[in-house]
Amino acid sequence: MLRPASAPAGVPDTRSPLLGEASAAETFRLADPALPHVSVRDLGITRGDGVFEGISAVRGRPQALDAHLRRLASSAAALDLPEPDLDAWRAAILAVCAALAAHPQIAVKAVYTRGVEGAGVPTGWVHGLPATDFRGLRISGIAVVTLDRGYRHDVAQTSPWLLQGAKTLSYAVNTAAMREAKRRGADDVVFVSSDGIVLEGPTSSVLLRRGNALLTPGTGLAILEGTTQGTVFDFARGRGLRTGFELSTVADLHSADAAWLLSSVRHAVPITAIDGIPKGVDRTLTDEINVHLAQVAE
């Protein structure tokens, strides 16, 4: 059983005998985030061999926590990591949120690695920080570029060892794509499969509005299940909008009535340009979604 450690910023489980024998109430411990906690031999750092979740908490209450925990377990399964003890992770995440509850919004990261090479025991921790204030960005929006992800849209089915659809620590390509966007004068990226299908952002889901319908690239694609996208779909159905999954091309992205990138901490950010071509913003719906996301806490 994993015993994640937790803190206002976190600490890995060092698997000391004390922790190994700890009672259920002692599955994690708080630690000073200013100190180093990770071994240079942890496979999380030497191989990016682990998974994570980024979770938003509003006034100390984590959002879509069940969805994040489910996805953590799903990502871990994709990497053949031992099944995470979700009760222990939940307790650690709640402890970090409680410690930072004075902040209006916090960004929590839960990291679960294969552990020190040769030890055969995973490492885990939860770390929290006051969130960047994205309220301005949710109004001003972002310019995106479309970038080839290099994989076919169906690669998760044909080649599961490529780990598409798992939220792994191996995110160097995602950060490189963001740098490429900046080089092109844009703010963010929409990845496109080698066969031309819109996938997701490096750290976000893509949402489109087409008339009365809110659409997102389908499950079964080589993409992550969006936790925020799930919350937005629940909201949209309650408001009488149709929701669904759609295989979209870049042309479909351009022709949509409005488009957003959705992510846990940044919430819904309207896309104002795609590859330099301006895109209209649905200000009313953007505001409604973000008001909803700022309130929801499970």
Binding site residues, a copy of itself, CB under 8 A: 9-12, 14, 33, 35-50, 52, 79-80, 109, 111, 113-114, 125, 127, 147-152, 155, 158-163, 168-177, 179-180, 194
Task: Name the DSSP letter for residue 82.
Answer: P
CB closer to a copy of itself, 174 vs 243: 174
CB closer to a copy of itself, 116 vs 253: 116
**3-class secondary structure, 234:** helix
CB of 202 to a copy of itself, least distance (A): 10
CA distance to 1, 160, 172, 234, 242, per residue, from 81 (Å): 11, 15, 21, 31, 37
- Per the CB < 8 A criterion, the answer to whether 206 and 258 are in contact is no
CB of 86 to a copy of itself, least distance (A): 20
CB of 80 to a copy of itself, least distance (A): 6
CB of 185 to a copy of itself, least distance (A): 15
CB closer to a copy of itself, 265 vs 285: 265
CB of 66 to a copy of itself, least distance (A): 23
Crossing angle of helices 65-78/86-99, nearest 10°?
130
Quote the tokens at residue 220. 């079964």
Q: Which run of H or E residues covers position 12?
A: none
CB of 68 to a copy of itself, least distance (A): 16
Which of 253-275 are b and which e, b meaning 16 or more Cβ less than 10 Å from the residue's Cβ? Answer: beebebbbbbbbbbbbbbbbbbe
CB closer to a copy of itself, 175 vs 212: 175
CA distance to 3, 107, 189, 244, 258, per residue, from 110 (Å): 12, 10, 24, 29, 32
Question: Where does residue 183 rank: exposed (0-12), middle (13-18), buried (19+ CB within 10 A)?
Answer: exposed
CB closer to a copy of itself, 179 vs 242: 179
CB closer to a copy of itself, 66 vs 117: 117
- Per the CB < 8 A criterion, the answer to whether 5 and 93 are in contact is no
CB of 273 to a copy of itself, least distance (A): 19
CB closer to a copy of itself, 35 vs 277: 35
